[in-house]
């Protein structure tokens, strides 16, 4: 099937066998039409799909979604790189950002990502993206949300227009609620002359939490960049709170500014443009952006060692 524009489709399947059967058919159809194909799923499923495709697997690009999409905000840049390489011809992809085992915070950001794809590729000339959802392993409410974020839905036999699709979800991610910081969070007000205090506090908390030196340095840099954004765009000052969550060290940075672009941090910054959230997304395991009437929030997560 030749496509025009961006076709974003949720594929509802049940178990590994259906996943392989349905996605391999989709991939082979694209290869037969001379279309570039990128598959981003977990490493185990990459192995299953390679085996099913046989010699055809050599013509497919693969990316481990558990690495590329560890932070869901990195997925759109990966698709953008792929789309820009072959912009003159139709292309297709398979991307599975949501699987059983994602944390609740990751799931919310993945669902935002799925909605934002419709905005990020609204002007794509010919790009068909298939997003598999294991209906046998995921809760019904996750499948319901997939129907809301994908204009098209299929089950391997029938493909239909989703009556639940909400075209206005592209901006909803910035308005989703965040849980309040815990009472025992460390708190620091900062301004232009106290960015060094932000770095010192985050570094000390990262070391105390047992983060490896390189990952601690990444979190310090990300928090520093987010705080600098607050100073430049959020009224000249902000508040940092930091605490240990169940599995992550969390830095919450708030200011009185507004985030106007729902794709902030998911599109490469222009020269001399803001790079703070873009950089944070590539350093941290998860970044949550929110904007409300009283200001903006950047919440950075770094996984703790087990």
Q: What is the C-alpha radius of gyration for the chain, rounded to an integer number of angstroms?
A: 20
Q: For 125-146, how does the pLDDT look when each residue is reduced to its tens digit (9 = 90+)?
A: 999 999 999 999 999 999 999 9
Q: For 221-275, how does the pLDDT look when each residue is reduced to its tens digit (9 = 90+)?
A: 999 999 999 998 889 999 999 999 989 999 999 999 999 889 999 988 766 556 8
The residue with greater pLDDT, 172 or 286, is 286
Residue 198 has pLDDT above 70, yes or no: yes
Q: For 51-82, how does the pLDDT look when each residue is reduced to its tens digit (9 = 90+)?
A: 999 999 999 999 999 999 999 999 999 999 99
**pLDDT interval class at 169 (50, 70, 90):** low
**Which pLDDT belongs to residue 88?**
81
% pLDDT > 90, the chain: 86
CA-CA distance, 130 to 99, in Å (whole number)? 15
**Which pLDDT belongs to residue 273?**
53
Phi, psi of 102 (to 5 degrees): -60, 140
**Which pLDDT belongs to residue 269?**
79
How high is the mean pLDDT of the chain? 94
Residue 103 has pLDDT above 70, yes or no: yes
């Amino acid at each position: 099937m030749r496509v025009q524009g961006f076709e974003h489709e949720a594929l509802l399947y049940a178990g590994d066998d259906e996943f392989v059967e349905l996605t391999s058919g989709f991939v082979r159809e694209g290869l037969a039409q001379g279309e570039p194909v990128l598959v981003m799923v977990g490493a185990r499923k990459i192995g299953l799909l390679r085996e099913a495709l046989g010699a055809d697997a050599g013509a497919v690009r693969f990316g481990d979604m558990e690495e590329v999409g560890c932070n869901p905000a990195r997925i759109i840049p990966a698709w953008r790189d792929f789309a820009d390489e072959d912009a003159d011809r139709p292309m297709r992809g398979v991307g599975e950002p949501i699987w059983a085992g994602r944390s609740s915070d990751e799931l919310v950001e993945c669902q935002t990502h799925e909605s934002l794809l419709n905005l990020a590729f609204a002007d794509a000339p010919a790009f068909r993206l298939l997003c598999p959802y294991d209906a046998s392993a995921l809760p019904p409410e996750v499948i319901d949300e997939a129907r809301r974020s994908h204009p098209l839905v299929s089950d391997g036999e029938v493909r239909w227009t989703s009556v639940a699709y909400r075209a206005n979800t592209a901006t909803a991610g910035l308005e989703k609620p965040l849980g309040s910081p815990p009472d025992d969070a460390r708190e620091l007000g900062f301004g232009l002359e106290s960015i060094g205090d932000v770095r010192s506090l985050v570094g000390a908390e990262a070391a105390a939490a047992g983060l490896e030196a390189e990952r601690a340095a990444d979190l310090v840099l990300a928090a520093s960049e987010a705080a600098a954004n607050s100073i430049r765009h959020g009224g000249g000052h902000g508040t940092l709170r930091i605490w240990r969550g169940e599995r992550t060290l969390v830095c919450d940075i708030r200011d009185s500014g507004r985030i106007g672009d729902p794709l902030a941090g998911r599109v490469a910054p222009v020269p001399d443009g803001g790079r703070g959230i873009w950089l944070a997304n590539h350093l941290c395991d998860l970044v949550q952006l929110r904007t409300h009437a009283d200001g903006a929030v950047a919440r950075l997560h770094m996984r703790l060692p087990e």
